[in-house]
Amino acid sequence: MISQARARFMRVSPRKARTVVNLVRGRDAGEALQLLDFTPKGAATIIRKLIASAIANARVKRPDVDVDALFVSRASVDKGPNQNMRRWRPRAMGRATRIAKGVSHIFIELDQR
């Protein structure tokens, strides 16, 4: 492990974020950034910033690190709590159903090839 970055309480559902994370897992960091630039998903901008942050963390941690040799070794998305993002939708016969807004914890780890 060279560097890592995590974004917590991101306002994107875990299911939608996992599709984007699966695109970049195992790819070179530069290739992943370029791929995320042209991915038309909402989570792509969050994950792009997260990979850029992990690259910056690698430069700070080890100034002699070869940035071109970094790749996404681990990437995961976990479900976060949605205590503050609960909404109610009125339904028939005076009932109400809950709308759960998704919150994600995203973790990216870079390693050197």
| Tally of domains within the chain | 1
Q: For residue 15, how far is the Cα from the chain centroid?
A: 11
CB neighbours of residue 39 within 10 Å: 16
Which range of residues forms the domain containing residue 14? Answer: 3-112
The pLDDT, as a whole number, for residue 86 is 80
pLDDT in tens, 101-111: 889 999 999 99
Residue carrying structure tokens 């970094």: 70
At 69, list the tokens. Answer: 């040799």
Q: Which residues contact residue 85 at a Cβ distance below 8 angstroms, ignoring those fewer than 6 apart?
A: 11, 100, 101, 103
Helix locations, the chain, DSSP H = 14-24, 29-37, 42-61
Please, what are the averages of pLDDT over each run of 10 residues along the chain (113 residues)?
Answer: 92 95 95 96 96 96 92 96 86 93 94 92
The pLDDT, as a whole number, for residue 71 is 96
The pLDDT, as a whole number, for residue 85 is 77
91: domain CATH number?
3.90.470.10
The pTM score is: 0.89
The pLDDT, as a whole number, for residue 1 is 74
The pLDDT, as a whole number, for residue 18 is 97
Amino acid at 61: K
Closest CA to 10 of 96, 107, 98, 109: 107
